[in-house]
Structure 1
Amino acid sequence: MNGNHFKDSFKGTISISLVQEALHHAGMRGFNLNDLLMQAGIAPELLQSDKTRVSVSQYAQLWIVLADAMNDEFFGMDSHAMRRGSYTFLSQSVLQAEHAGQALSQILQFLNLLLDDFHSKYFVQENYAYIIIQDRAEPKRMFSYATYLMLIHGMMCWLCGQRVVLNRIQLKCAEPEDDSDYKVRFCDDIQYHAEENYIQFDASYLDIAIKQDKKSWHQFIRHTPYNLLVRFKNPNALSHQIRKHLIQTPTAEWAELAGLSQQFSMSEATMQRRLKQEGVNFQQLKNDIRRDLAIDLLEDGICTLQDISEKLNFHDVSAFHRAFKKWTGVSPGAYRQNKIQSL
């Protein structure tokens, strides 16, 4: 197996903090969280360290497990449950829309009827469209807004057949300890403690004709929620482009910053400055990619630790073991306790 394996199948990882957020209301309602995690193929041991991450497949499976257990596709975060099958019904009904603006109106109208704590609308001002999210009570946690937005944005992108680029997100809630996963999924410009909740994007997207039909709908819904997590990420950050490049390159051939900047046709100083603006350190970026590749291979269950060590360009297994423990706070074996169930 070479670097091409990762290019074809690797989708990255998701912070364990988002797993804990997803479990929050289930725990408050007395569900056995260990059982839910085991059903999703996630070792409960991973919750013991705030540095661990899970694969996108595992997180998508947890979404399904929680939705089934709670009969709520919104993790119990609203006063009114989003009953199992709601998103399937919504996605099928908006196929009748002629363009994205009409579809967005129908999506928001449906969610307004379904949920009690959020009420949303959109409007256009000059060249921008704004989705305004009104809270019926106190502001929610960031995870609630992000999940709500993912349901809307993911469907919009799918209907348009392309990513709808978000320019800015402004929210009333407090800033989470780490919002990097949210920035990867949505956009870099996320502001907190705001006076109102809104999402801004270019109004031109609203005129795009619906690109999907009944046949493509079956494919979309069969891979939901997995596709909502991976297909429509923010592609604009330099760190994202570097990450994509390194994933497609065998780790033994990774260039240092000077060589990489030449491949990207920019000076080393410019690359460093742009990464710093994104809050990214080059060495940390490389470590994060090796960590995520390791998690992917461990979850796959095919490669031995020796194989993984070699693929990630470690001198020996013990060096890989030490590095992985440092990166995640747990041993590689913790990721082998549960093999992911098929979606």
Structure 2
Amino acid sequence: MATRTVAIQFIRAAMTTAAARGIDIRGALRAARITPEMIGHDRVRVTEAQAARIVRALWELTEDELAGLGPRPIPRGTFRMISYGVVHAPDLRTALTRFTEFVALSTEARATLTVDGSQARVVMHGDPAKPLDPLVVDIAVAVIHRFASWLIRKQIPLTAVELPYPAPPYESEYRLIYGVTPTFDTTGTGFAFDSMYLSIPVVRTEAELDEFLRTAPAGLLFRNRYDVTTADRVRNILERNTSTDWLAAEDVAKRLSLSAQHVRRLLREEGTSYRTIQEDILRDRAIESLVQGQETIEELSERLGYSEPSAFRRAFRRWTGIAPGSYRLDSR
């Protein structure tokens, strides 16, 4: 099963904000096998592992858990100590309350947990005179949500996300990050979810926390599954299929207990299609293989079901705007 990929625009955002603060991440880009040609094309995507390497490199270069992008440095190890203070909470409500209190004490950033009937909200309070970099906002929302889900060992579907900056040209990518389309240009920053999750016990141990932190930021920045949209559910079924042939649309619909016509309509309303989802899976599998560098183009094209390498190369250019070889750092 291929991992999901990340739009190159998020890597560009990290480069831009780092450069504005005099941080040179060219070495980090090389280590992550991200080539200059990849940076220049809007349709290019990278693996989650590549994006995680960039974040780790920024942490190391700046000795700051906000990677030099916040109003002031946050010493390395701050999140670790906050996590140890939260992992023994009896339930998610207590954990999130403690988390917001510890964050306020250690970083001077304020966040609050509020409950209004069936909706719980985590709201972050910034200084209007010193707005946070959009990349910091994106990371903060993702980290709090991922960590909350990890603590109770359940994916928490978000019902709303509010981001205090204008929608970027790649706003459709945010559904892949949060499982819901955010509202942009809001007066505040935060996210909402069903309050029933607050009563679920925290089930993680300190040993599990040590392992979770060892592999950070992968578990904090990238989602596993939300299955909120029809497109997500269709993709998951297609990815789990062990046959070399694609499942027919009718077979996928049957597994969803829906008619094929109804599934097509739902996908159309979400701005996608059965064929587009197939192409996304092929694209992500191709990118993952090219970055790992263990298959030749010929082997990869055959595994993905292309009759000849030239057909695969044409498809790859259509997906990303560049040739497959551009993902091979050692071929530059």
TM-score (norm 1): 0.88
1:276-287, aligned counterparts within 5 Å?
A: 276-287=268-279
- In the other structure, the counterpart of 2:286 is 294
- In the other structure, the counterpart of 1:121 is 112
- In the other structure, the counterpart of 1:228 is 220
Take 1:132 and 1:338, find their aligned partners in 2: how far apart are those partners?
A: 45
1:44-193, aligned counterparts within 5 Å?
A: 44-115=36-107, 118-137=109-128, 139-140=131-132, 142-193=134-185
In structure 2, relative to structure 1, the CA distance for the partners of 1:204 and 1:148 (3 Å cut) is same
Kept in 2: contact 1:298–1:335 (CA 8 A): yes
Kept in 2: contact 1:170–1:197 (CA 8 A): yes
Other structure's SS at 2:87 match = helix
In structure 2, relative to structure 1, the CA distance for the partners of 1:119 and 1:37 (3 Å cut) is same
In structure 2, relative to structure 1, the CA distance for the partners of 1:205 and 1:259 (3 Å cut) is closer
Q: Which stretch has the larger CA shift, 188-197 or 155-164?
A: 188-197
- Supply the AA of the counterpart residue of 2:126: D
Kept in 2: contact 1:42–1:58 (CA 8 A): yes
Take 1:150 and 1:334, find their aligned partners in 2: how far apart are those partners?
A: 30
Take 2:55 and 2:84, find their aligned partners in 1: how far apart are those partners?
A: 20
Take 2:34 and 2:220, find their aligned partners in 1: how far apart are those partners?
A: 20
Other structure's SS at 1:175 match = coil
Take 2:62 and 2:226, find their aligned partners in 1: how far apart are those partners?
A: 30
- In the other structure, the counterpart of 1:33 is 25
- Supply the AA of the counterpart residue of 1:135: G
- In the other structure, the counterpart of 1:3 is none
1:324-339, aligned counterparts within 5 Å?
A: 324-337=316-329
Take 1:255 and 1:98, find their aligned partners in 2: how far apart are those partners?
A: 44
- In the other structure, the counterpart of 1:271 is 263
Report the alpha carbon displacement of residue 141 of structure 1 after superposing the two structures with TM: 5.2
For 1:239-275, what per-residue CA distance to the aligned partner results, in whole angstroms no more than 9, with x for missing partners?
1111122222368511453454344332232112211
- In the other structure, the counterpart of 2:192 is 200
Kept in 1: contact 2:159–2:193 (CA 8 A): yes
In structure 2, relative to structure 1, the CA distance for the partners of 1:86 and 1:338 (3 Å cut) is farther
TM-score (norm 2): 0.91
Kept in 2: contact 1:79–1:115 (CA 8 A): no
Take 1:92 and 1:21, find their aligned partners in 2: how far apart are those partners?
A: 31
Task: Return 5+ residue gaps in structure 1 as ranges.
Answer: 1-5
For 1:6-45, what per-residue CA distance to the aligned partner results, in whole angstroms no more than 9, with x for missing partners?
2xxx321111011112222211122333222112232232
Identity of aligned residues (%): 26
In structure 2, relative to structure 1, the CA distance for the partners of 1:338 and 1:115 (3 Å cut) is farther
Q: Which stretch has the larger CA shift, 249-258 or 184-193?
A: 249-258
In structure 2, relative to structure 1, the CA distance for the partners of 1:237 and 1:164 (3 Å cut) is same
For 1:260-295, what per-residue CA distance to the aligned partner results, in whole angstroms no more than 9, with x for missing partners?
434433223211221122222332222221111101
Task: Return 5+ residue gaps in structure 2 as ranges.
Answer: none
Report the alpha carbon displacement of residue 103 of structure 1 after superposing the two structures with TM: 1.3
Report the alpha carbon displacement of residue 82 of structure 1 after superposing the two structures with TM: 2.3
* Alignment size in residue pairs: 330
